[in-house]
Amino acid sequence: MLVGVPKEIKVHEYRVGLVPGSVRELTAHGHEVVVEAGAGAGIGIADETYEAAGAVIVPSAEAVFDAADLIVKVKEPLQEERRRLRPGQILFTYLHLAPDPDQAADLVASGATCIAYETVTSPSGGLPLLAPMSEIAGRMSIQAGAYFLEKVHGGLGVLLGGVPGVDPGKVVVIGGGVVGTHAISIALGMGADVWVIDRNVEQLRALWRQFGRPLNTVFSTREAVERHLREADLVIGAVLIPGAAAPKLVSEHLIRQMKPGAVVVDVAIDQGGCFETSRPTTHDDPTYVVHDVIHYCVANMPGAVPRTSAQALNNATLPFVLAIADKGVRQALADDPHLRAGLNVHAGRITHPAVADALGLPCVAPEEALTLAPA
């Protein structure tokens, strides 16, 4: 199979779909890899390094899309990239279609087979291709929140860890999954007063066992969310329903009741965000203020640390890339129900029920869609 790696074009997105080590594995399996010139520059990898791993460097994204059977990216394809997709081509990347009807319509119209990293599952019920980026985003959420709590950046002027004789800042994490767990780890390490809110009692027990008494665990009710957010200095939104739009757990009315200068970091923004007042921002312009509360809603947070995140992502995606290239996409999907869970669009049809439900569109089961001719 001919595998293509275009350079990412989202604002301040420096990650790359395949690192040279992954290219070498693909070429060792007998596959060809074409890489757009400069695709690895954001993580300090020269074109010559890709060539040494067996890739062919091509001058443009158009050349990659024209040649490749399988396109491996990081972020969702922007409009100019979606126009280059063709029937039967395979796209493997993060998609986050639920809050993005325009992208979904373009992918359906393209006739391509589109597999989303964020809905591929694992035997244990996890999301193995989302997990490494969730780990990074969770850790970065506290870093970003602490920065914007500084008075010079518009915040309350609170040091999360406090000092002897002065209370630490209060951090409230909504959602105790992968993002929340890593946010908790960093916040506790900084000495903050950390509270996690989740509706899954077993997850709260697991977090209690992991972190011990320094972590405060709260069962999620409207009353609990309202009470703790009014007192919070920093709130991390860390909820996820695989493939679906994030639930709006924090109303604008509640944002209005928070401390002036408090910070909210919405890590769920890729799926539409879990605060009513959230809208996507970029690393160029990461924050805005609503009712005197600073909102940080950058949709590609791990892109700020691309050397770490590109390698972590490749560690997770490479086995699936190899399976698709070695077997062909239909056989790979047929053989692996967990990869099949990642299929969002095939031959002009939406194939993931949560995506279809969020967009109000019909859904064709992946098993059925794979037997059908293009729409």
Least confident of 33-47, 209-223, 235-249, 306-320: 235-249
The question of whether 198 is a catalytic residue gets the answer: no
Examine the pLDDT at 371 and tell me if it is beyond 90. no
Which residues, at least 6 apart from 253, have a Cβ–Cβ distance to it below 8 Å?
Answer: none
Contact yes or no for 211/184 (Cβ under 8 A): yes
| Per-residue pLDDT tens over the stretch 163-213 | 999 999 999 999 999 999 999 999 999 999 999 999 999 999 999 999 999
Closest CA to 6 of 171, 44, 359, 15: 15
Which residues make Cβ contacts (< 8 Å) with residue 48, sequence separation at least 6? none
Q: Is 270 a catalytic residue?
A: yes
Contacts of 371 (CB under 8 A, 6+ apart): none
**Catalytic residue from among 31, 96, 295, 352:** 96
State both tokens at 374.
């293009």
Helix, strand, coil percentages (3-state) for the chain, rounded to 5, are 40, 20, 40
3-state SS assignment for residue 216: strand
pLDDT score of 243: 80
Given this model, what pLDDT does residue 245 score? Answer: 86
pLDDT at residue 241, as a whole number: 83
Q: Are strands 90-93 and 113-116 parallel, antiparallel or unpaired?
A: parallel
In one-letter notation, the amino acid at residue 165 is G
Decide if pLDDT at 249 tops 90. Answer: yes
pLDDT tens-digit profile of 269-295?
Answer: 999 999 999 999 999 999 999 999 999
How does strand 234-237 pair with strand 263-266? parallel
Residue 74, pLDDT above cutoff 70: yes
Average pLDDT over the chain, rounded to an integer? 96
- Say if residue 151 is exposed, middle or buried (CB neighbours under 10 Å; 0-12, 13-18, 19+): exposed
The pLDDT value recorded for residue 196 is 98
The answer to whether residue 129 scores a pLDDT higher than 90 is yes
pLDDT tens sequence across 330-368 = 999 999 999 999 999 999 999 999 999 999 999 999 999
Model confidence at 47: pLDDT above 90: yes
pLDDT at 372: 78
Q: Are 335 and 322 in contact (CB under 8 A)?
A: no
Instruction: Give the distance from CA 169 to its chain's centroid.
Output: 27
Smallest Cα–Cα separation from 321: which of 66, 1, 60? 1
User: What is the predicted pLDDT for the residue at 374?
Assistant: 67
Q: Which helix (H) or strand (E) holds 206?
A: helix 201-211
Find the mean pLDDT for residues 296-308: 94
**Residue 116: which of 95, 90, 87 has the closest Cα?**
95
Residue 32 clears pLDDT 80, i.e. is over it: yes
- % of the chain residues with pLDDT over 90: 93
Considering the candidates 182, 270, 338, 352, report the single residue annotated as catalytic. Answer: 270
Task: Quote the CA–CA distance of 1 and 11 in Å, as a whole number.
Answer: 30
Q: Is the pLDDT of residue 60 over 90?
A: yes
Question: What is the pLDDT, as a whole number, of residue 125?
Answer: 87
Q: DSSP secondary-structure letter at 51?
A: H
CA-closest candidate to residue 225, choices 175, 180, 262, 271: 175
Mean pLDDT of 308-313: 97
Other C-beta atoms closer than 10 Å to the C-beta of 304 total 20
Q: Which residues of 103-112 are buried (b: 16+ CB within 10 A; e: fewer)?
A: bbebbbebbb
Secondary element (H or E) of residue 225 = helix 222-231
Alpha-carbon 58 to chain mean position: 28
pTM: 0.89
Contact between 29 and 325 under an 8 Å Cβ cutoff? The reply is yes
> What integer is the mean pLDDT of 215-219?
98
Quote the CA–CA distance of 316 and 324 in Å, as a whole number: 14
Average pLDDT in the 110-114 region? 97
User: Is 372 in contact with 347 (CB distance < 8 Å)?
Assistant: yes
pLDDT given at position 279: 96
How does residue 375 score in pLDDT terms, banded at 50, 70 and 90? low
